[in-house]
Structure 1
Amino acid sequence: METLQQFLAAFTDAWQQADLVFLVVFGLLFLVVWFLPSLLALAFNRQHAAKIALLNIPAGFSWIAWVALVVWAVTGKLGDKLAEKASLKPVA
């Protein structure tokens, strides 16, 4: 328990000594990482970008859900291409 208290004290001291520029850069980097699935969805898969963006907010609390959203954002159009390939032509 003492180790945890030492860690929290060191973290609190470091946070209080941080300057404004560091805090702004840290906050922006944090938001970019949190919303990375949404940004990737905009770049790769515009069809489901709104759904991914909506699910991105609570998914940031779970690494498993966050990684699943990243995979969905990157492979969205791939699923459409595979569905087109899988459609069979009627036999004459």
Structure 2
Amino acid sequence: MFTDLDQLVTSFLEILSGVSALTGFIFVTFFLLVCFLPSIVAFFFNRKHFPKIFAANVPAILSWIAWFALLAWAVTGKRRSKDKGQQISAHDTSTIVEGDRTIKASSGKSL
């Protein structure tokens, strides 16, 4: 039993010794980017649940189902406004009064 394990470790170390430092760095960087993709997406989309998504991302690395669920959570939801942390709805309408004209603006974007 330990002989198989010794052979496995030996073959792994032989493969690892053949990898250059640059290749190893690129692989580790790519691996971490893919693993933390839900957190990265939540950060750049300015989601209010970013800390929760980041905390759940660490154990979700072990489960692809949980990882995809976190990715869906990071993409959906409400965005925070840059002013005072207010939430912006997908059907936000606002009225702009300009002189004697009233302009009604509606954002048709889905957030």
What TM-score, normalized to structure 1?
0.69
Deviation at 1:76, TM superposition (A): 1.7
* Corresponding residue number in structure 2 for 1:69: 70
Larger relative contact order (C-alpha < 8 A, sep ≥ 6)?
A: 1
* Distance (Å, rounded) in 2 between the aligned partners of 1:18 and 1:57: 27
Larger strand percent: 2
User: Could you tell me the percent identity over the aligned residues?
Assistant: 43
5+ residue gaps, structure 1, are 86-92
2:76 aligned counterpart, secondary structure: helix
The equivalent residue for 2:83 is: none
Alignment: residue pair count: 78
Q: How does 1:6-25 map onto structure 2 within 5 Å?
A: 12-25=13-26
Q: Does 1:50 align with 2:70?
A: no
Contact residue 44 and residue 76 of structure 1 kept, 8 A: no
For 1:52-76, what per-residue CA distance to the aligned partner results, in whole angstroms no more than 9, with x for missing partners?
0000000010000000000000012
Please identify, of 41-50 and 59-68, the stretch whose mean Cα deviation from structure 2 is larger: 41-50
Which TM-score applies when normalising by structure 2? Answer: 0.59
- Cα pair distance change 1:73/1:57, threshold 3 Å: same
What is the alpha-carbon root mean square deviation over aligned residues? 2.7
Name the counterpart of 1:88: none
**Secondary structure class of the residue paired with 1:47:** coil
Distance in 1 (CA, whole Å) between partners of 2:89 and 2:64 is 28
Of the two, which has the highest radius of gyration? 2
| Residues in 1 aligned to 2:77 and 2:44: alpha-carbon distance in whole angstroms | 11
Task: Tell me if the contact between 1:45 and 1:74 (Cα under 8 Å) persists in the aligned partners.
Answer: no
